Structure 1
């Protein structure tokens, strides 16, 4: 296959030309068009590496489309996969939460069903994107470690993140914010909220640190990438670094982002944060970290289409120095590097032909076509 008449977004520059694919990998690219009549006309669009998504809970929406509605696994997985590909995402880590999540039980009830759907569909070769697993471990709970020990052996586990959503920790350093969030989410009375808060504090005191160290040790032993989550202070970043984390997921302050970046962790922020112009929970804005030069990876989190939109937003912003290739690295090369996926993430000879053809229509960037390993899937 040859794609003609495109703007190739390479590692360090944008070049007008063409790209040739053979046997699922990029064979060559040139700063001129091919004269072969069978070449695909890119109509002057951008040809990008396939996007790489490290943290999305988008899968939940399809397995539980409404409260107390459980959807058939095959249909849920297929719909989720189609949306990821339509968003230009060719490698996706589906995030599943372990531990007490108190979402009406839906996530916990669906856990095995979702994990099996990801693994089975990938093994059967029916997915358009390549799907892997991201285990999100809620540390302050007695069930987290036994469940993790069981699931870490599953095929496709590529990332583990350590979370602590107890009051006074990380995302909820401000106890009042904690109360507002959970009372609003679960419709708890003041009395119920008091009891819930006491329970979470007791669980955190007993389980958080033992679980943190045990899970990190298992990840080091198995060579699985480890991520921190919602670090808020330099001390948090120090601890994450010492545990062997390679990614700092959603640091909540400039201090934590700077400290993580200095210690070699890849700082990951939400693409919706970029598109919306700030954090919906009032934490540090991703565009501020971009302007400070401490933003390394973007994740679509809860909105898949935001990943490509955010990369172009970063490149167009007057408040940072990111070129388009550098901005695209936030959603391609850098996440691939963090996971040790050396076969993808850039347009280069010998790399996997995961490709996205995108064009601007007015103010919006549209995905026209997507290829995975040289096969057109959208």
Structure 2
């Protein structure tokens, strides 16, 4: 009597390529390999790869395929990864249980499937196939379990097909204040109605009794994704994996619109033009299929970076840049404090030696004047094509005056209260980092958010280098008695939308705007406020759930 499947052997034409596919992409365990073959484990299944010159060159037309089990917790992670890596699919799922159907490098038809024979029989007993007969009343299922590294209280959700949603019984933070026990109607990704009287027909109903609805957070300046790409000096992860992982961190912090702050520098590696290009290409290309947070591009252009000027101009003209900030992190000659800080910063994101960094600084300093004309061309392009222009770290009246001449829309991190006030006088929105508030001050010893709030010289907050701080900040401002929560939340939602020129699309819970919002439990305080997030919605679709 047959007791089970002993092993499966697959013919392959390129052993190294197939070995990497099954181990690195699908996650099979490598047991042994040799010149013409390899042994792997897929759960408890013995899988053999065998080098064969007669391996098929196209998929077979028949339905024959191998289905691997995968846990529900890991399915979307694997599905997203396969899409990012552009693994070919050969079929769309129409059966019980989630599945993704893919081809391996040798065109073998594979399936990753949630469920087992027991769940399939349960489903078909309710809806039998034509002329279906059952030979046993019970089925003992054996299912391999894939260990999950995703926290069990976090679910990244597939997008519902119903475009008409009614969220009922929720307390909503509207532009006019709180509206209690409201019904919020959403159609085609936008708010259509917020009131206390709607009894909708034809809508998918969601009971949000006891929850609060807040506008989704808009982050104009965040670069914590760099630590996803390069967690240690000289150690880099594949861009697609790093940014997909970063997307989940954004959602976990309540951020629904993210201006990915990409440094366009003269440095090699993480902050190079090559890196900037790769990030833009992924985010605006393949990333659209896997990223749930609304991503936009914020280019932080270093004044001293004179290479590739025309390419940057082309990006702006073609609509690939959504905020342009002018940065100058090159240490001025003779400023030892700035030099030491810069050397330490570059060391943390590269494997360059101190001597190599110093030589780079010398080379760039000699030619930095060549960038002056380029900067003015970029400023003109920004105004011509409606791209918000930002200054960065203005620490003198001369710099603020120059920013005024450039008609800067956003003043990032001005150094003092007086300089922030001057920036607001000429019409710029002052943007400061939420970590400054949460930590209790600037890590560079400059103006604190607390000072800025007390002197009324702040308009917006951003995550800077720590996403969760942007969610915590309004709670902190309320806790310190500096600002009512409703006003504080506008610093991370409606006012950033205004500064970036997207207030006609985002930032408020109001008819006609994109339905980007959070559902949270009420009555929260630090330090556990972030655990109150129940669900995150982008364009009317629930993209993450943290409580059930």
Measured against the shorter chain, the TM-score band is 0.7 to 0.9
Deviations 1:126-182 (A, max 9, x none): 32111111111100232263442243245442100001123359xxxx924203313
Matched, 1:332 2:493: yes
Question: Does the CA contact (< 8 Å) of 2:475 and 2:525 recur in 1?
Answer: no
Compute the displacement of 1:308 (Å): 1.2
- Which of 278, 290, 295 matches 1:131? 295
Superposed, which structure 2 residues align to 1:357-368 within 5 Å? 357-359=519-521, 360-361=523-524, 363=526, 364-365=528-529, 366-368=532-534
- Please list every run of 5 or more consecutive structure 2 residues that lacks an aligned counterpart in the other structure: 1-164
CA distance in 2 between counterparts of 1:121 and 1:304 reads 23
Where 1:90 maps in the other structure, the secondary structure is strand
Is the contact made by 1:90 and 1:130 (CA closer than 8 Å) also made in structure 2?
A: yes
**8 Å Cα contact 1:298/1:307 also seen in 2:** yes
SS at match of 2:420: helix
Name the SS for the 2:285 alignment partner: helix
- 1:151 counterpart residue number: 315
What RMSD, in angstroms, separates the aligned Cα atoms of the two structures?
A: 2.8
What is the match of residue 330 of structure 2? 166
SS at match of 2:511: coil
Post-superposition shift, 1:195? 5.9
Q: Give the distance between the partners of 1:302 and 1:32, measured in 2 at CA.
A: 43
* TM-score scaled by length of structure 2: 0.62
Q: Which of 1 and 2 has greater Rg?
A: 2
Per the alignment, residue 513 of structure 2 pairs with 351
Return the structure number with greater relative CO, CA threshold 8 A, min gap 6: 1
- 1:302 deviation in Å? 1.2
In 2, Cα distance between equivalents of 1:337 and 1:330:
10
Instruction: State the secondary structure of the residue aligned to 2:467.
Output: coil
Deviation at 1:63, TM superposition (A): 2.4
Correspondence for 2:404: 241
> Of 173, 180, 191, which residue of structure 2 is paired with 1:26?
191
- Aligned-partner Cα distance in 2 for 1:192–1:214: 31
**In the aligned structure 2, how far is the partner of 1:81 from the partner of 1:193?**
32
Q: How does 1:1-378 map to 2 (within 5 A)?
A: 1-18=165-182, 19-31=184-196, 39-101=205-267, 105-108=269-272, 109-122=274-287, 124-143=288-307, 145-168=309-332, 175-186=335-346, 199=363, 201-204=365-368, 206-318=369-481, 320=482, 322-341=483-502, 342-359=504-521, 360-361=523-524, 363=526, 364-365=528-529, 366-378=532-544
Number of residue pairs the alignment of both structures matches:
368
User: Deviation at 1:9?
Assistant: 1.4
> Per-residue displacement from partner, 1:285-337 (whole Å, max 9, x unpaired)?
1121111111101110111111111122223322x3x3222211111111111
1:7 and 1:162, CA in 2 relative to 1: closer, same or farther beyond 3 A?
same
Give, in whole Å, the separation in 2 of the partners of 1:340 and 1:351.
Answer: 13
Shift of residue 229, structure 1, vs aligned partner: 0.6
Q: Is the 8 A contact 1:137 1:162 kept in 2?
A: yes
- Counterpart CA distance in 2 for 1:167 and 1:141 is 14
Farther-moved stretch of structure 1 (247-256 vs 9-18) = 9-18
In 1: Cα distance, 2:312 partner to 2:196 partner: 49
What TM-score, normalized to structure 1?
A: 0.88
Q: Decide whether aligned partners of structure 1 residues 121 and 275 sit closer, same or farther in structure 2, where only a CA change above 3 A counts.
A: farther
Greater mean deviation of Cα atoms: 240-249 or 124-133: 124-133
Q: Mean Cα displacement is larger for which, 343-352 or 268-277?
A: 343-352
Separation in 2, partners of 1:64, 1:304 = 17
Q: Using the TM superposition, name which of 262-271 and 143-152 deviates more.
A: 143-152
CA distance in 2, matches of 1:42, 1:356: 11
**Counterpart secondary structure, 1:157:** coil
Q: Is the CA contact 2:470–2:492 (under 8 Å) kept in the aligned structure 1?
A: yes
What is the alpha-carbon distance in structure 2 between the residues aligned to residue 194 and residue 369 of structure 1?
48
